[in-house]
Each structure stands twice: as structure tokens, then as C-alpha cells.
Amino acid sequence: MPITATTVVQNYKMKNYLIVIVGPTAIGKTRAAIEIARHFHSEIVSCDSRQLYKEMKIGTAVPTAEELSAVPHHFIQNKSIFDDYSVGDYEREVLPLLDALFIKNPVQVLVGGSGLYVDAVLKGFDEFPELSSEIKEEIERDYQKYGITYLQEELEKLDPQYFLFLRDTNPQTLLNPQRMKRFVGVCKSSGMPYSSFLCKNESNRNFTPIIIGLEADREIMYRRIEKRVDQMMKDGLLEEVIQHHQYKHLNALQTVGYREFFSFLDGEISLETAVNEVKKNTRRFAKRQLTWFKRSENTKWFDYQSDLQNIIQHIKQQIQ
């Protein structure tokens, strides 16, 4: 007998489960999430820090209209590049949404490649240590002497993982002296990376995560990325970037796939170089995504070509 939304609720009504699909860009997370959500009659919550923005459709590989109609999606193109939106805002909005979705069906799907956003959903943000006046004065003195470059270099040294995350997803933050002083201050005061204080409050979650990772050999992953970029160009990525050129200073647009073409439009590089830079920077980003997600020992990894029925069977074993 086929599974229905009613039988899902009956079988799993005592506990909420969040199926989390992670992995590098262009690996096939959307396809897998849709099939899994259809099987469990769930909805999909996107966990992508750029697909949020309605003006950034092609360059962020937003699911197609057909894919979006297959299963209800949330947090897809629901914000504007003109909105001041952060991972903290996302956490505050996504948790009530999940609560509402779990009332309808205790099995729901989260999908995305933004590691910090995934961690925010699963764990939340923890308490940060207080900064001593001595640390604050030292950082302020060095900032006045050496400028923002000093803060950037200190963060890269003290918390390279978080530095790369900011560089890839929100580079404008690296130019914000107040926030950078805070990041460096936490590192110096605690002797630990700033990112180690993020996303640790797991006790507040009312669901059990089942984390599924998709991966491929590096050369296959790179070919998929290059193929996707080529398709984006055919779909009109350059035209999309041209429309937003005047807003290139906005945080949302400071990301791979847009920065490179802004350099082309500013006459700094050729179009061919811009396309090659997008491919190169996307490959680097994918490597860092894998590094981030591989930290978790709770993730069950599957080859991107795995039969989805095998993945679904694994999930069912976890929730029965």
C-alpha cells in the first residue's frame, strides 16, 4: 500500500524528524530533496544564503518552476537584495515555520549548501564570552594603527574557516570594523575560534535531524560545476548581472557568480576570464562546503548517483 500523508502522521506522530540534505554546489541536492519530500509528503525548506533573494535567480541556480511546483518550497526568493538579512534573521524565521510544518507532518525536509545556515537551524547560536577591557583596547589600538587589514589578517589567522565563510558569502562584513573587532576579540579572549561559539544550542530543537550528504569524486564534481556555469551563461546570467551592476555594493551581490562579472563590466577583466574565474571560484567554494559538512560525524554520505530509494530506505530506518 502506498505511503500517504496520513500514514506518515500516524507512524511518526510521537516525534518530529528533519531530513537535511547537504553537499557541495551542483551535486544534485534539489533533485534528491524533491523526491524525498514527495515520498514523505513533506515540504521543503531551503537553506541557501543566496537563493533567498528574488533578484538573483540564474546566478544562484534557483529550482526551476517545474521543480518548485512539484513540492511546496520555503525561503526561495522571498527576500530582496535590498533587505539587510543575516543568518540570525534566518534562524529566527525558520524555526517557527518548521514548528508549523511539523504540525501538518512530523517529517520535513531541509536542503542547502550554506553550512552556517544549516548549523543555525540544527543547533542555534550559543553564548559568547565577554571581552575584557584590555583586549578591547589592544584591538582598537592596533586597528587605529594598521586599519581594517589588520583585523582581516587576524581573523584569517585565528579562525580561517569563518574568514573563508565570510569571504564567500558576505565579504562586506570583512570591511565592517565593529563586527571584525568583535570577531577578533572573541578569538583573543577565549583562545578559541569565533565560529566555535556558533550553533551549539541543540537542546532547544524539537526535532531529530537525519542528515544526508551527497558527494562525488572531485573531478566529477568539478565537471558538474563547469557544466552548470556554462548553462547559466546560456540562461542569461550576464544579463542578470548587468541589471544589478549599479547595486554591486550590496551584501547579497558580493558572491561568486556576480563579483567576477562586475569586474568584467568595470573593464578590469575580459568576459572569458570572468567565466573562468566563476568556475574556479565555484570549485574552491565547493571544496570548502565539503570541508564544512564533513565535520559532522552524524552525516550519512551517499554518492550523488545513488538510487534515491536506497537513501529513502536509510531515512525510514532512522525514523521507525
pLDDT at 2: 44
- Read off the C-alpha cell for 54: 528574488
Q: Is 268 helix (H, G, I), strand (E, B) or coil?
A: coil
pLDDT at 9: 47
- Read off the C-alpha cell for 202: 541543540
Query: At a CB cut-off of 8 Å and minimum separation 6, what does 157 contact?
Result: none
pLDDT at 34: 97
User: Binding site residues, as ranges?
Assistant: 23-30
Torsion sign across C-alpha atoms 261, 229, 43, 73: positive
Q: Is 149 helix (H, G, I), strand (E, B) or coil?
A: helix
Q: What are the chain's domains? A: 5-125+199-319 (3.40.50.300), 133-197 (1.10.20)
Q: Could you give the angle at which helices 115-122 and 160-169 cross, rounded to 10 degrees?
A: 110
Distances in Å between the Cα of 108 and the Cα atoms of 17, 37, 46, 100, 315 are 6, 7, 11, 11, 12
The position carrying cell 585565528 is 158
Per DSSP, helices labelled H in 71-129 are 87-104, 115-122
pLDDT at 280: 96
Number of H helices, E strands in the chain: 14, 6
Return averaged pLDDT per consecutive 10 residues of the chain, 320 residues in all: 47 78 96 97 96 95 94 96 86 94 96 90 75 84 92 93 84 86 88 77 79 96 97 97 94 90 97 97 92 90 96 92
- Number of neighbouring beta carbons within 10 Å of residue 281: 16
Which secondary-structure segment (H or E) carries 175?
Answer: none
User: Binding site residues for substrate, as ranges?
Assistant: 25-30
Q: What is the C-alpha radius of gyration for the chain, rounded to an integer number of angstroms?
A: 21
- Read off the C-alpha cell for 301: 554520505
User: Binding site residues for ATP, as ranges?
Assistant: 23-30
- Number of neighbouring beta carbons within 10 Å of residue 10: 9
pTM score, whole prediction: 0.78
Closest CA to 302 of 311, 313, 292, 294: 311
The 8-class DSSP code of residue 53 comes to B
